[in-house]
Structure 1
Amino acid sequence: MATIEVLMNQHHQDNQHKRKDLEATYPLPTNFDQVYAFHQSMKEYAQTSLHDLKCLAHQLKVQKIYVKDESQRFGINAFKGLGVSFALNEIIKKNPQAHYTFVSCTDGNHGKALAWRANSLGHKAIIFMPKGSETRRVKAIEAFHAKVIVTDMNYDDTVRYASEYAKKHSYYFVQDTALPHYTEIPNNIVLGYSTMVCEALEQMSEKPTHVFLQAGVGSMAGGVLWYLYHHYDDQLPFIGVIESSQVACIYESIQQDKMISIGGEPYTLMAGLNCGEANFMTFPLLKEKSNCFIKCQDEITLKGMSRSQHPIQKDPVINSGESGAVGLGFIEEILTNPAYHSLKISLKIDEDSVILLFSTEGNLY
């Protein structure tokens, strides 16, 4: 099996919809300025670094490679706090005097972000995790005084179980993927991720030609793409969506032109991407506006982690974890392995390319 597989998107459509029709076509919120202002109002807020990998870009014969470093976000080592903090704010402001118990399912970072934010605001969190969850990820959540329950189910079944548990106990379910009749909170989480790309574009001196986005359920990819779609008035960069080969539900759904669920108990080092069912609220956007979908074996993210820790010459060291480093590993492999020369051409990467990547999590060590 190839370590990288790329599916060019036959469904890709440019400028199909007039701006006034966007909300009807993709029913996602657009109050980006409100989200950014909220994050900037948080005492924990600071822009995360955007690393300019000049030496690697020179070696790979492209103009620029930028990596947004989310290991610095809110002191919790991942970007997930952006979505959770905005979603909880929207919940709590409806009844600021209430004492809340929040429930969720996670592979690690979302649950840690929810535990962190709930604890900092004086509320409780109960976090369910799928079978096979690593002890280090459990302990990282428990450090924020959350109750953690590891189930004997896969991620997607655990999401449904957590939803029913919250409903049964009259708790607040805070999940980063939509379910039937459950879209407002996950949509606010998706919207919260827009701050990450808003910052990145402020920090760049040029427009990216290529943006590569990791996807588990596709909420982060959808949130970033949604912002880019508005910011560039449909003149989007080339968008690639990267998944783990073991659990590439979006890739398979695009290929078969129907929503596909990856069942069983798949394993990947990229725990944050180990999700078998796409978020149906962001999937249509990804389907129409992404240029390609990418499957990577675990060795590609290991390559990215190694490069982030051992940079070329004067490039900075980046603390990039398993789900954070796959974009960097992908770019270097595509641009150095002769076996992927035709893919490089299909991806339209050349000496003028300005590539934006997101290191969505740091290494837990």
Structure 2
Amino acid sequence: MPYTIFDDARLTHFAAQPTPGDAATRVITPADFDRAMTEITCWEGYAPTPLVSLPQLADDLSLNEVLYKNESPRFGLGSFKALGGAYAALRVLQRQISAALGRDVTMEDIRTGALATEAAKITLVSATDGNHGRSLAWGCQRFGAPCRIYIHAEVSEARAEAMRALGAEVIRIAGDYDASVALARDEAAAHGWFVVSDTSWPGYTDPPRDVMAGYGVMTRECCDAMDRPPTHVFLQGGVGGLAASVAAGLVQYWGADAPSVVVVEPELAACLIESARQGRATTVQIESETIMAGLSCGEPSGMAWDILSELARDYLTIPDTLIGPTIRRLARPIGIDPAIEAGESGVAGLAGLIAAARQAPLRAALGLKPTSRVLLIGSEGVTDPDIFAALMRERADG
């Protein structure tokens, strides 16, 4: 495979100075992760997703090992988001039904349909680029709650239809992702609905914490499958929930031996690197939409930033031009590497790794060596077949 496009790609790097603190165990506690693990692993259809080694790619990049957590089989929804939105929905229903009945109810009571009448009275809403909304719709369908999903102008119709197929009412707006978040909040407040968001804001923390706790199932599976910690983990950005959850979970599992955290974002939606530069959660204006639809977020989650500000050492931005070649490298592997079909947002970390490992200044800055073992979260499979097919048809320039 020619790597010219990665060699020539212009990446922005910012080396952060993480502030010491306890966010890795305070924002999402070990009990939060354990509760989610206990619940989600008993859901019908649960199975750990594969942690795949890519030995030929590791050799090409002069690394010891490249490990790719393939989330495409997750509950048949094609994305790690299945762990977050549905679990957070269940927790919202648990809290609201407990309050309505004046007694504590369990997640099992709701999951098994014992409180179906009560669940049907509670409408859950969220904004999404696709995968979070699909998870929420799937969870609402399982737990018997009405669901409304707000999407922005650039969300593909295929992703909208996947949510409708799960029973959600889908509302498309003319603005961007952040505008869809604002509308979901406003209409929920006006109608007495409940927002299940993967991003936090002042006064709104429980559902985003539950979303990140749900993601912890994925991190625990990774750790249990490894006999020693990786040296680096490259994590997609977005609002920061995935990166923060994985970073916190790795620290809780491996302690002082936890890997160096590298956050990778689209250059067109780089709110986390800007937050790192400013030393506080910072919103950026999105001028053009990135092909990495799930990462097209201009405002970071405050809770996620609390964790990343203490754990992330490096931030990278990547151009959209790297996504097609990365997807094709996975789907048409070299040597004994397995073939993996991945979505455009799911390969951002891998695209950043390939480019950084091949560019000597970045390789040195990130401490990538022949002994390095790198963990990647392949956070989505083919959630939009048309986009995947178009990327696979592009000329083989990378």
TM-score of Structure 1 vs Structure 2, range by shorter chain: over 0.9
Q: Number of aligned pairs?
A: 355
Q: Distance in 2 between matches of 1:27 and 1:327?
A: 24
Provide the rounded CA distance (Å) in 2 between the counterparts of 1:259 and 1:56. Answer: 35
Tell me, yes or no, if structure 1 residue 354 matches structure 2 residue 355.
no
Kept in 2, the 8 Å contact 1:212–1:240? The answer is: yes
Please list, as runs of the form range in 1=range in 2, the aligned pairs for 1:296-315 lying within 5 A after superposition.
296-315=318-337
Structure number having the greater helix percentage: 2
Tell whether 2:29 aligns with 1:29. Answer: yes
Change (3 A) 1:23 1:244: closer
Q: Is the 8 A contact 2:264 2:349 kept in 1?
A: yes
The SS at the match of 1:281 is helix
- 1:216 corresponds to 2:226: no
Report the aligned-residue RMSD.
Answer: 1.8
Q: Distance in 1 between matches of 2:29 and 2:88?
A: 12
Q: Counterpart in 1 of 2:249?
A: 227
Q: Contact between 2:238 and 2:294, CA under 8 Å: does it hold in 1?
A: yes
Q: Is the 8 A contact 1:102 1:173 kept in 2?
A: yes
1:258 and 1:93 map into 2 onto residues whose CA distance is 33
Partner of 2:194: 172
Q: For 1:149 and 1:198, locate their aligned partners in 2 and report how far apart those are by CA, in whole Å.
A: 35
Distance in 2, matches of 1:151 and 1:273, equals 18
Q: Cα distance 1:246–1:87, how it changes in 2: closer, same or farther (>3 A)?
A: same
CA shift, 1:330, in A, is: 2.0
Out of 110-119 and 55-64, give the one that drifted further.
Answer: 55-64
Specify the alignment match of 2:391 in structure 1.
none
Mapped to 1, the partners of 2:330 and 2:174 lie a distance apart of 34
Q: Matched residue of 1:71: which SS? A: coil
Matched residue type, 2:91: E
SS in 2 for 1:232: helix
In structure 2, list runs of 5 or more residues that go unmatched: 1-7, 98-109, 386-398
Question: How far apart, CA to CA, are the structure 1 residues paired with 2:132 and 2:46?
Answer: 18
Larger deviation, residues 241-250 vs 160-169: 160-169
Please state if 1:44 is matched with 2:49: no
Unaligned runs of 5+ in 1: none
Counterpart of 1:250 in structure 2 is 272
Deviation at 1:81, TM superposition (A): 1.1
Identity over aligned residues, as a percent? 32
Q: Check conservation: 1:211, 1:355, Cα contact below 8 A.
A: yes
TM-score scaled by length of structure 2: 0.85
CA distance in 2, matches of 1:266, 1:202: 40
What one-letter code is carried by the residue in structure 1 that aligns with 2:90?
Answer: N
Where in structure 2 are the equivalents of 1:1-365 lying within 5 Å? 3-9=10-16, 11-13=17-19, 16-17=20-21, 22=22, 26-31=26-31, 32-94=33-95, 95=97, 96=110, 97=115, 98=118, 99=120, 100-336=122-358, 340-363=359-382, 364-365=384-385
TM-score, with structure 1 as normaliser: 0.93
